[in-house]
Amino acid sequence: MLSIDLTGKRAFVAGVGDDRGYGWAIVRALVQAGAAVRVGTWPPMLNIFTKSLERGKFDLSLPGGGKIEFEKIHPMDATFDVPEDVPEEIREDKRYRELSGYTIQEVADTLRDELGDGCLDILVHALANGPEVRKPLVDTSRAGYLAAVSVSAYSMVSLVQRFGPLMREGGSAVSLTYLAGERVVPGYGGGMSSAKAALESDTRTLAYEAGRRWGLRVNTISAGPLASRAAKAIGTIDRMVDYYRANSALPDVNTAEDVGNVAAFLCSPLSAAITGETLHVDMGYHIMGMPAEDQLGGG
């Protein structure tokens, strides 16, 4: 029987801070397929995340038995590439003061020091943040716009740049995007639509450059809206989910598990000939050219 088998593979998933988002669902799918998983967690979330794990507040169960186990949890702030980038006020912040090695380069160096070169097969970018996401683009400040693009798009470039040399031939890098990178989605502001458009464009270029340099495949998943804790920042996420359910080609909404399974596929040998793709996992919402709810309502 054809199945996804990641036994003997190691994954690094950047952007996991709770058990409700797409990042966690991807971790679950990768572990279920047999991969060893390390995660990178934003320093301000690190203590809450690790304490929740210790106290059994997260669902660690796997379908068919077993449970999620992390090889290691790394503090990681994708805003910063190297230690010199970290401003004094961040270094002295109480959530950072006792931590070290949380820039992207330092996390990559830690993996190399602990595991050696050629230690990684899978890289997942589940990072996004726009401090002004509730503002229309026309009202977004330069600082807010650049912050959104920095964390949500350039961080993928930085991850591939710094983790690529650690990856084995045939490795896979996957990120998460959203339809707002292609079409207008009112309420998804603050430069986040621009960041997703950049991420999708960079996926194609990185697929070529990282493919030629390290034999690495690079793809992105355009997932439908999910009412995760992080997505609550948008403000209209519940309305977006309801709209997708009413207007998708398949009249429902995708689950986090759907996205996790597709990520596992893209990270497996079964997708060895796929790279540079934006793969939509949204019940076919992206193909619709007009709202379906009126047509459905009319029988």
3-class SS of residue 167 = strand
Catalytic site includes residue 145: no
Burial of residue 49 (CB within 10 Å: 0-12, 13-18, 19+) is buried
Identify whether the C-beta of residue 34 lies closer than 8 Å to the C-beta of residue 6.
yes
DSSP code of 66? -
The C-alpha atoms of residue 285 and residue 113 are separated, in whole angstroms, by 44
Q: In 3D, which of 273, 285, 76, 251 has the Cα closest to residue 178?
A: 285
In DSSP terms, 279 is beta-bridged to: 221
Catalytic annotation, pick one of 102, 154, 178, 285? 178
The C-alpha atoms of residue 127 and residue 203 are separated, in whole angstroms, by 14
Catalytic annotation, pick one of 22, 96, 188, 244? 188
3-class SS of residue 208 = helix
Cite the active site residues: 178, 188
